[in-house]
Amino acid sequence: MIARAGFSYEPPVSAPERARWQADLDRVRVGGGEISFLALHWQAGDPWDPCGRWWVYDCLPATVLREGAERRARLRSDDENADLLLIRELDGPNPRDDGNQYDGVLRQFVRNPNSTIDRTQWTLWRDLQAFAIPFWVIQGTCGGHRWRFTGPEERALRAEGLPDTAPRPGALPYAPFDGRVLGQLIRYDRLQRAE
């Protein structure tokens, strides 16, 4: 395994600063904000593929996911109950212990094709009691961007002659969580509601 210079699993700010950032983020609701909540998480990446960026996750509480699984259990078999299958995976072993690993020969990370979650989602399930969906990457000078664009977003961007894929996390300069991020999240939510 080749570690990149300057790589660290530790975030570049103190725990009290991160708590202040999360408190600011707690005041913002996007999308399904009546049910879900936003969580700030340091995504270090790995020594062979560093990221070093703050991510915002849209988090669905475990209780909501479990209630959905129970409702679907009345209508479908366990093998057809997507919520139940997801819960089993989240409750199961760390995806890194289940065939998802760095291959030193190929010099790349190889995913288990049967795994639908990543290590961060598995960890946040335990830490937050929620299923964390990647939402926003904080990088660059404008407050960050969506982690991935949806199909309609890609089409709208193409129609405007703009890039239709989000920048790779780590491709733009590091940025802290600040008012630019909050402003972008609020604008994004207003745009979604207007549509």
pLDDT band at 2 (very low <50, low <70, confident <90, very high): very low
Q: In this model, does residue 98 exceed pLDDT 60?
A: yes
In tens, the pLDDT along 149-172 reads: 989 889 999 999 999 999 999 999
pTM for the full predicted model: 0.87
Q: What is the pLDDT of residue 183?
A: 94
Across the strands, what pairs with 134? Answer: 57
Q: In this model, does residue 179 exceed pLDDT 80?
A: yes
From the list 60, 46, 42, 28, the residue with the least C-alpha distance to 131 is: 60
Element (H, E) at 5: none
With tokens 């009546």, the residue in question is 34
Q: In this model, does residue 1 exceed pLDDT 60?
A: no
* Arithmetic mean of pLDDT over the chain: 88
Percentage of residues of the chain with pLDDT beyond 90: 59
Q: In this model, does residue 73 exceed pLDDT 90?
A: no
Relative to beta strand 101-103, strand 145-146 is unpaired
In this structure, are residues 180 and 172 in contact, taking their beta carbons and an 8 Å threshold? no
From the list 63, 70, 121, 68, the residue with the least C-alpha distance to 92 is: 121
Instruction: Measure the CA–CA gap between 148 and 86, rounded to whole angstroms.
Output: 21
Q: In this model, does residue 4 exceed pLDDT 60?
A: no
Q: What is the pLDDT of residue 108?
A: 67
Element (H, E) at 81: none
Percentage of residues of the chain with pLDDT beyond 70: 87
Q: What is the pLDDT of residue 3?
A: 45
